[in-house]
Structure formats: C-alpha cells, structure tokens
Homo-oligomer: A and B are copies of this chain.
Amino acid sequence: MGHFNEIEKEIFYKIIFSRRDVRRNFTGKKISDEVLLRILTAAHHAPSVGYSQPWNFILIRDKGNRLKIKESFSKERLKSIELLEKDNEKKKKYLSLKLEGILESDLNICVTYDHVRFGPFVIGRMTMKEAGIYSVCCAIQNLWLAARAENIGVGWVSIINNRDLKRILKLPSTIKPVAYLCLGYVNKFEVLPDLQSQNWLKRLELEKVIDYELWEGSNKRLAEWESFNQRLTGKKSS
C-alpha cells in the first residue's frame, strides 16, 4: 500500500490543524448522500479492538427529535450553570459561549457502542474492557477529519444526558451513546478553537504533555524542538 510524499503529508497536516469543533457559521447547504457516504466510510475504516467494529451511526434529520435533544441540552446546561454559582466570572463567560448547533446544522449523527457485537471473546478487550468504546472514538475522529476534508464542520455536543438520548432514539439497553455530532457546511472555519479565542483556555505547549521513558522521567528534550514548533504550528497553535 502507498507511500506518501512531502506534498501529501502537508495536505494531511493542513486537514488536522484546520479541523474545528463547530457550533456556528452553518450555511444550511445540504450534505449530499455521496459526500455523507464517503465520511461514514472513513469512520467505518477506523481501527477497532479485535476488529470488533462496535459502532453504529444514527443519522438524524427529523426536526422533532432534534428539538427533544435540544431540550436535553438546555436542561444539562442549566445544571452546569448551577455548578458555577460561586464563580461569577467563569459563569458569565460560560453563559456567552455557543455550545451546540443541534437545530442549525444540516444533520445530526449519534454514534453508539455495541458491547455485544462479535462477543463475548473479543481479542484485546478481555484485558482492556473499555477498549471497545475507545474504538468508537477512533471512528468518530476519522469521521470528523473526513468531514473537514469535505469542507463540512462538525460539533460534538457532550452536554446531553445519555438517558435522554437512549429514550429519544429508542436505543436498546445494550447500546451506549458515545457522541452526538452536528454536521453542516459552514461559511468559514475559525483559525483558533472557540474556547481559545474566547479566552476560556489556551492550548498547552506540546512539550508539557510529553514524557521520556517514565512519567516525568527525565528532562531530556526532543531535538529540533524550537525550530520545529515555530515552523509547523506557527502562531496558530500558541
């Protein structure tokens, strides 16, 4: 299978760095079935523990169901606001954030995990029980990047109660919702993540999340750090 050259790598990294968690700027343009199939096929080609492919994708266009899910979001958002009762500054910031695009996006997708599929003996999952859910997350990331390559924005809404999702989407008891995604064409992809441009948090320096041999194992540093960091991520990633 193919060898990738410098130009191809550059395109790949451009997709990685320009992917955003999108909750606004939706244009309303419809995603065609052909494009959607390409995106779902990319998701379906994610790695999975013991090749168990434990994912399902529920495509939701129906406005009725989306309204019910939006209600769950609103309830959960209120709970979060209550948690910030004692931190007025954070609360104010939180209130100003746009955290979902459930109704404005063209399409919602609920991605679920099926623990039963190809079981009970799934290679790898006998030792690491959560690995099946990890596989679903890998599929979600494939989907997200494929959407970006197709110039489609994706937002992952985690402020939704799983019990509500199970009820509204009629999921069997063995099926666990992992992600609720909102997809749509956008008139632009922001240069920075929203939570960074709105001063909620900053991107960590990469070196802060790298260790050598052991947890906090050494003060060693990868060579080429400085030049690399500036060249590749520039001012964009701070």
Contact = CB atoms under 8 A, between A and B. Distances in A.
Interface string A178-221: 11000000001111010110001101101001111111010000
A56 B200 CA distance: 21
Given A12-B145, A60-B213, 19 more contacts: A1-B189, A2-B14, A9-B149, A12-B149, A13-B38, A16-B45, A17-B45, A51-B196, A56-B210, A57-B209, A58-B214, A59-B212, A61-B213, A80-B123, A83-B126, A97-B123, A124-B159, A137-B137, A137-B138
A94 B80 contact: no
B8 A21 contact: no
Interface residues of A, number: 121
Contact of A146 (B16, B40, B94, B151): B16
Contacts of A53: 201, 203-204, 209
B52 A201 contact: yes
A162 B210 contact: no
B158 A212 contact: no
A212 B108 CA distance: 11
A24 to B, nearest CB: 15
A233 to B, nearest CB: 6
B65 A213 contact: yes
Given A12-B146, A213-B58, A158 B131 contact: yes
A161 B151 CA distance: 41
B42 A224 contact: no
B142 A210 contact: no
Given A15-B4, A18-B2, A212 B46 contact: no
